[in-house]
Amino acid sequence: MSKSSIVIIIYIIGLIFGALVLDMWSAETSPKALLGIGWTALFLIGLYFAEKNEKK
């Protein structure tokens, strides 16, 4: 399994955790929404480095 696939799987598990446990997508806007933005930023950084290391 490639590193980028592992990063994507971890991201999806994190989204499911955020949706079910933290209730990030509720009607109320709160600072929890920033967690979703931060999680996506970490996903993009992880995906960038995973792809960068695979091409070497």
Q: 30 by DSSP, 3-state: which?
A: coil
If you ran DSSP here, which 8-state letter would residue 5 be given? H
Q: 24 by DSSP, 3-state: which?
A: coil
Report the C-alpha gap between 13 and 9 in whole angstroms: 6
pLDDT tens-digit series, residues 17-48: 888 887 777 766 677 777 778 888 999 999 89
Per-residue pLDDT band at 54 (split at 50, 70, 90): confident
Q: pTM of the predicted model, to two decimals? A: 0.75
Q: What are phi and psi of 50, to 5 degrees?
A: -65, -45
Beta carbons of 36 and 24 less than 8 angstroms apart: yes
